[in-house]
Each structure stands twice: as structure tokens, then as C-alpha cells.
Amino acid sequence: MTLGFAEPWALLLIALAVLPWLKSGQRALAYSSLALIPADPLSVLLDRLLRLAGAAALLCLALAIAGPYLREQWVERIGTGAHIVLLLDRSSSMNENFTGKYLGARPHESKSAVARKLLSEFVARREHDLFAMVDFSAAPIYVLPLTQDRQAVQAAIAAAGGRGHGVTHIAPGLAMALDFFTGRPLTGSRIILLVSDGAARIDDETRDRLRQWFQETQSSLYWIYLRNPRGGRLSEKPANPNESTTPEYFLHQYFQTLGVPYRAFEADNPEAMQGAIAEVERLENLPLRYLEKLPRREMSTWCYGVALFFLLPLIAAKAMEVNSWAR
Amino acid sequence: MTPEFHYSVGWRASGAHPGTHRSGHLGSGHEFAGQVPFIANPDPRHLDLRASLHDPYGQLMVRSFRQRSAIPVFVVADLSASMGFRGMADKLENLARFTASAAYSAYRTGDPFGFVGCDEGIRSDLLLPLRLHKSAAPDLYERLRGLSPAGRSAEALCQAAPHLGRQRALVFLVSDFHFPLDRLDTLLSSLTRHDVVPVVLWDSAEYERLPPRGLTCVEDPETGERRRLFMRPSLREKFRTAFEQRRTALIHLCIQRGREPFFVIDRFDAEALTRYFYQT
């Protein structure tokens, strides 16, 4: 039952809807004899319609007084146009190439350069989406709010090309990325595209807070993990699990407990990274089905409107009344 | 000033009371009835010498004459609720004016007058027995126009006949005749002994001066039934046609039963009634 009433007692007033059938509501003129009046089907029809309109108006008014409302409900929506926050690691390790070498790697082969190039292509292909960008290393850097301005986004990606430095500190970056979504209506899928080559330990309190924010904003998380060939895989339990030596594994475990869609892609060379981005693209091309909670909707305005609709002919009839024979 | 009309009847009065109408009674009058022996009518003023000389037995003959007699005049009025209609005029006012006029005219003509009012039963409070009434006119006028009719039918019209006596009388049957024609037929059958003048009280607001357009709710005062009417020119035309047909039917039925009805529409015109009596 999705219909509720604010004042259910007023439903008793519906009984008043029989009144028009009992009384005509017009002062009657004495006529000498009804038997002499010629039959007039139009008058009979009009009389019935007026009585019906009166009854319907009373019914609607009684309903309106009772204050009907549709209860809050979840509806399935299909969203198009994702909101994507690019969360780009700018720690010093991103300057390395995929072999882990820092020195000797050509500038366009560094992880950072490959990531930027692919992201830039990704952005160029996604026409309907909104992009925001946050860089992070030791601390998050607010780059660009959610925008459709492609030039700005491309410029922001290009601007991440500077030399990376500092360590990977992932939690504040995620917090800032999530902050773009809070307080905005959910009109499409929300994606945080995390591009990083490492992880760090997140303390329990921050974990809980992040989990809560992820659930509140219903954002999904894609983690493109630029893996060092010597680094551990996300899915394999390391030989000696320790949060300070293999934080990636623990972060992956934690992300799986977020309660929102999460995928991790490991990329240990530029081709794999390209594949990962293509995979993200494919996933997010699917129309987003999500449940939206609708607040309860007041229906009495409609009832008053319908009552007005029925009252108008009655008002017109009242204006057309003739209450005396003399002209 | 109570209007007065003149009436005449085509039949001979049977009453002995002298009056103005032709009668079958021999008496003092101007209508020659024949010669009779002096013994039969010993009035030497009417001695007919010529007839006496012609008589083979030598009897004295006198002329005899028919006297003129009075006839009873009755007003039998429908006082049912439908007579309370007020349109262009008050029907009851018209009824009162007509009754007063009839009473006054009867008095002036020298005829006895009686009044019988009927709704569901005979209205004994308004019953006026047959007399030569001098002051009946203003009295009836006041009482009738002050009446608020509430009778649910005019059933008692059929019971009025016993109140009219055995002598042939001139009966004005005043009503709006808004009842079925077969009941009118029964009513007229019960009054065949008398000379019945149906006086039809109608109001032009009933069928002609209707509101041109608009919504009205009409109520039958007798049955209490209500009906909503959407007045428009075509419906007004229907009313007019219905009443025209009704008028034709009434005239047809009443002529079969003796006399053409006299229509009083909106206003009682005494001179028109006089013309009614002298044109037929």
C-alpha cells in the first residue's frame, strides 16, 4: 500500500457525496403541474451530470481534506552521463617506467606519462560525462571540480605532467574525490577512477568514514593499479602479509568491503593499462540502473485541483440559475 | 368594484322562483304559451275576446304566458395546491375575482348563488349554500385570495355534484384542469344534469412567458416532485406546443360534454365572459 492519509477521519466526509442525489441545491419554483411539462432528455442529462459533478466534487474535497500522500518509495532509474573523478597519483614513483627504473626511462614512457596519455584519450571519448580531477601524493591537490569543459579537463590532465614527488597517501585523496559528490543529485553513475602505483595504510577510523561516504554517495570505484613487475599481485596473498610492506593487498581487501561497485585492474605495462581503461569504459557505457528514494508526495493538491474541475461546471450552473418566473 | 357579466342559458329553468331566465312555468310573463279556459287560469286581465268568440262551446278563453324564472348559479372551484401558482398573476386572485364577479352577477340577475370549493375533500369551511346572497361577493373575494391552497389533488370535484341540488343549474367549473383528461371526463359525467361552463385558469408564465434560457428547478406543489429544467428556446417551444395541444384537447372534450371552455389567461375579463355567453 503506497497511499496514506494524513487525516483519515476526514474520509468519513465522503458520505456527504450522496447529498447531490438527495437535494437539487436550487431553490425550487412552484409550477402548477409537472405532468404537463414535456419530456426533455437534455434537461434530464444535465441534471444527472450536475448531480454527478456535485458528488464528485464533494468526494474530491473530502479526499483532499483527508490529505492523501504517496508513501516514500524506491524507484529504479536509468542514468546516463557518468560523473567521473580522476584521482591521479603523483607520487615520485609515478616517474618510473613500468620496469621500475627511474633513471634511463624516457619521459613518455614513465607511468605518469602513459597514464596521462590514456586518460586524455579516455576523456576525449566520453562525451556525455562530467569530469573532475584530484591529484594526490602526500596530500590531495584540488585540481578541477566536476565540469563538462573538455579543454579544462585535458589541460588539467596535461598539468599533472610535472615531476611527481612525495609519497602515496591515498585516503585524503579519496575523501576529496568523494567530496565532489556529496550534496549533488544522483543523475548518473558516479565513478572514482583511481590511478596509482601503490598504496598506503589507512587507519581504521578513516576506513569507516570512507566506507560511509562511498555508500552515501553511491559512487563506484575503479582502481587502475600500475603494478611494478616486482610488486605483489592484488589477488594473491603475499608470503608475509604486512600492511607496511604490501599495503596494496590490504587496500584491495578493504575496497572490496566498501559495499559499492568496485573493480581493480592491474596494469604492469602500457598495453595492460590501455586494456584496463578500455574495460572501465566498457563497464561505464552500460546504462546505470540505480534505485532512487522518492520522498512522500502530497496528493491533496491534485484532489483540490480535480475538485475545482468539478466545481467549475457547478459554478457555471449556479450562474445560469433562474429563480423566478417573472422576467 | 366587482366586475359584472351577463349570462344566459339555452334551456328553460325548472324553478318556480321568478327570475330572468326563460322557464317552463306558466305565470306572469311576456312569452305567450297559448289559450286556456278561464276556469284554468282565472285572470280577467288576460281575457282573449277573439279566442272566446271562436270557441265552439262558448267558453271564455284567457291567454296564458310563461313566466321567467331564476336559475341556480354555482361556482365549483378547484382549490388544490396547483392553484397557488403565481406567474404573471396570482391564480388564486383570479379565482377570487371570478367567483366574486359570478356571485355579484348572480345577485344582480336575481339568481341564487352557491359556492363549492374542493381539494382532496369538499372544503366545508368555504361552502356557500344556494341562497340569494347580497354580500357574498366581497366576502368570498377576501376569503379566497387569502387562502393558501395545500390540497394534494382536486379529487373532491367529483363529489361536488350532490351539493348542487336536483334542479338544473348553471355551474362554473373553475380549475386549471391540470389533471388527466379521463378524470375530467368522469367529472363532467357526474355533472351532466347541469349546464357546466368550464373556466380554465391558466397563466402565460406556465407556457409562454418562460425564462428564455437558464437552469430552473420546478416543483410540483401537489406531489412535491422536483425536476431540473434547462430552459432554452426550443424547450419553450415544446411547452407552447404541449399547452396548445392541451387546449385543443380540453376544448374538444368540453364541447362533447356541452359547452366550450372559457379560458382565463392571466386576467379575468368579465366582458369576455359576457361575449362568451351571447356568441353561442
Q: How confident is the model at residue A284 (pLDDT cuts 50, 70, 90)?
A: low
A316 chain-B contacts, CB cut-off 8 A: none
| Contact assessment for residue A34 and residue B223, using Cβ atoms and an 8 Å cutoff | yes
Domain boundaries, chain B: 18-69, 73-203+259-279
Superfamily of domain B73-203+259-279: von Willebrand factor, type A domain (3.40.50.410)
| Rounded Cα gap, residues A160 and A162, in angstroms | 6
For residue A141, list its beta bridge partners: A135
Please determine, for residue A78, whether its predicted confidence score (pLDDT) is greater than 70: no
Q: Tell me the residues of chain B between 74 and 93 that have a Cβ less than 8 Å away from chain A.
A: 82-88, 91
The string of pLDDT tens digits covering residues B96-129 is 999 999 999 999 999 999 999 998 889 889 889 9
The string of pLDDT tens digits covering residues A163-222 is 777 777 888 888 888 888 887 777 667 888 888 877 777 888 888 888 888 888 888 888
φ, ψ of residue B261 to 5 degrees: the values are -75, 155
Please determine, for residue A105, whether its predicted confidence score (pLDDT) is greater than 60: no
Q: Report the chain A residue with the minimal C-alpha distance to residue B205.
A: A325
| Rounded Cα gap, residues A132 and B72, in angstroms | 117
- Low-confidence stretches of chain B (pLDDT < 70) are 280
Distance from CA of B88 to the nearest CA of A (A): 7
Please determine, for residue A101, whether its predicted confidence score (pLDDT) is greater than 60: no
For residue B31, list its beta bridge partners: B66
Does an H or E element contain B109, and which?
A: helix B91-109
CB–CB contact B243 A31 (8 Å):
no
Does an H or E element contain B255, and which?
A: helix B233-256
Q: Report the chain A residue with the minimal C-alpha distance to residue B81.
A: A32
| Rounded Cα gap, residues A276 and A193, in angstroms | 11
For A29, how many CA atoms within 13 A lie in the half-sphere containing its CB? 20
φ, ψ of residue A301 to 5 degrees: the values are -60, -40
Q: How confident is the model at residue A108 (pLDDT cuts 50, 70, 90)?
A: low
Q: Tell me: ipTM over 0.90.
A: no
Please determine, for residue A156, whether its predicted confidence score (pLDDT) is greater than 90: no
| Contact assessment for residue A112 and residue A164, using Cβ atoms and an 8 Å cutoff | yes
Which residue in A35, A320, A326 is closest to B215 by CB distance? A320
| Rounded Cα gap, residues A61 and A65, in angstroms | 6
Closest CA to B135 of B107, B163, B98, B172: B107
For B82, how many CA atoms within 13 A lie in the half-sphere containing its CB? 30
The string of pLDDT tens digits covering residues A51-63 is 999 999 999 999 9
Closest CA to B37 of B27, B54, B50, B52: B52
Q: How confident is the model at residue A80 (pLDDT cuts 50, 70, 90)?
A: low
End-to-end Cα distance, chain B = 28
pLDDT at B206: 85
Residue B232 burial class via C-beta count within 10 angstroms: exposed 0-12, middle 13-18, buried 19 and up: middle
Cβ–Cβ contact B245 with A under 8 A = no
pLDDT at A84: 85
B222 chain-A contacts, CB cut-off 8 A: 33
CB–CB contact A27 B226 (8 Å):
no
Domains belonging to chain A, first-starting first, are 3-27+39-72+295-319 (no CATH), 76-293 (3.40.50.410)
What pTM did the predictor assign?
0.65
B223 chain-A contacts, CB cut-off 8 A: 34
Cβ–Cβ contact A3 with B under 8 A = no
Q: How confident is the model at residue A103 (pLDDT cuts 50, 70, 90)?
A: low
- Write out the three cell numbers for B222: 401537489
